[in-house]
């Protein structure tokens, strides 16, 4: 791919509610350039003119709003109960997301950038080289608790169904270069992110 030879991609991942976005924002405070793939996906399916909408309209006509966007909240209301349809959603979205990610990466000039997603970053037909995989980990009970606090309208069943959509804790940890254990309070997270930042800077130094 045509990525700047100097910019390395860090995949920041972990299960729903593990604390990925919190870690990403803490890294941003150090000046790290980051991209949130959930926001990127949202910017596509909340834009009626985006080319992906043609495919989404065909696949999920019942989930398209009168203004031509994908219904917000459909992860909870629909996809969490239809795993096959979720696979179809990801199949449709992936090429658009991969191409936008490649385009974004090609514009970067820092030695590394961080990309957040709970999902896989690479697909067989479009491999994007991941330099480091950082996993944010927390117990299921804690994640459930934090999700219910964050999303006032979710029931415990909603949160559990959404957690069940993703691979298990062990699978996330597989192949991790760094693990952030987010089982403690925010101050513990802050100090781990400080260490992570030093690690990435030292490892990412272009020699
Ligand atoms: C399904 C959508 C419309 C739901 O949006 P919503 O605002 O309700 O949820 P949000 O984006 O905040 O996601 C909440 C959590 O679920 C995870 N998640 C998002 N989509 C999915 C999915 N399809 N399957 C499993 N987990 C998902 C996110 O990473 C995050 O951890 C949206 O999340 C989406 O577009 N998902 C597809 C994203 C995608 O294709 N990514 C490819 C990455 S390479
Ligand atoms: N160490 C912590 N102590 C207390 N609350 C925390 C801690 N870490 C994260 N949180 C809170 O838990 C919730 C989930 O964190 P966050 O949104 O960062 O997770 P996420 O992995 O990005 O979630 P999603 O997968 O849904 O995008 C947020 O409300 C966040 O403020």
pLDDT at 126: 60
Q: Which two tokens stand for residue 182?
A: 């987010």
> Which neighbouring-strand residues pair with 123?
126
Domains defined for the chain, CATH in brackets: 8-204 (3.40.50.300)
pLDDT at 74: 92
pLDDT at 191: 97
pLDDT at 4: 47
pLDDT at 140: 94
Residues in the chain: 207
Q: How far is the C-alpha of 142 from the C-alpha of 157, rounded, in Å?
A: 15
The binding-site residues of ligand 1, defined as CB within 6 angstroms of any ligand atom, are 16, 37-38, 41, 45, 70, 73-76, 79, 86, 89-90, 93-94, 97, 117-119, 121, 165-166
pLDDT at 175: 86
Low-confidence ranges of the chain (pLDDT < 70): 1-5, 122-127, 206-207
Q: Which atom of ligand 1 is nearest to the CA of 120?
A: 44
pLDDT at 128: 81
Instruction: Tell me if residue 36 falls in helix, strand or coil.
Output: strand
Instruction: Tell me how far the alpha carbon of residue 17 lies from the centroid of ligand 2, in angstroms.
Output: 5
Closest CA to 13 of 198, 185, 199, 182: 182
């Amino acid at each position: 791919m045509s990525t700047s030879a100097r910019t390395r991609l860090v995949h920041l991942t972990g299960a729903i509610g593990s604390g990925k976005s919190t870690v990403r924002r803490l890294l941003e405070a150090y000046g790290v350039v980051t991209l949130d793939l959930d926001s990127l996906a949202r910017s596509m399916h909340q834009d009626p003119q985006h080319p992906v909408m043609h495919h989404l309209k065909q696949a999920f006509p019942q989930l398209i709003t009168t203004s031509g966007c994908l219904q917000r909240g459909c992860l909870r209301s629909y996809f969490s109960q239809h795993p096959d349809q979720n696979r179809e959603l990801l199949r449709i979205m992936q090429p658009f997301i991969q191409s936008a990610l490649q385009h974004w990466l090609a514009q970067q000039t820092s030695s590394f950038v961080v990309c957040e997603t709970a999902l896989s970053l690479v697909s067989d037909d479009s491999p994007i080289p991941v330099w480091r995989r950082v996993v944010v980990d927390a117990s299921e009970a804690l994640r459930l608790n934090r999700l219910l606090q964050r999303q006032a309208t979710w029931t415990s069943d909603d949160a559990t169904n959404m957690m069940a959509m993703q691979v298990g804790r062990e699978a996330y940890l597989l192949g991790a270069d760094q693990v952030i254990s987010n089982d403690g309070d925010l101050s513990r997270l802050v100090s781990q992110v400080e260490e992570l930042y030093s690690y990435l800077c030292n490892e990412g130094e272009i020699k």
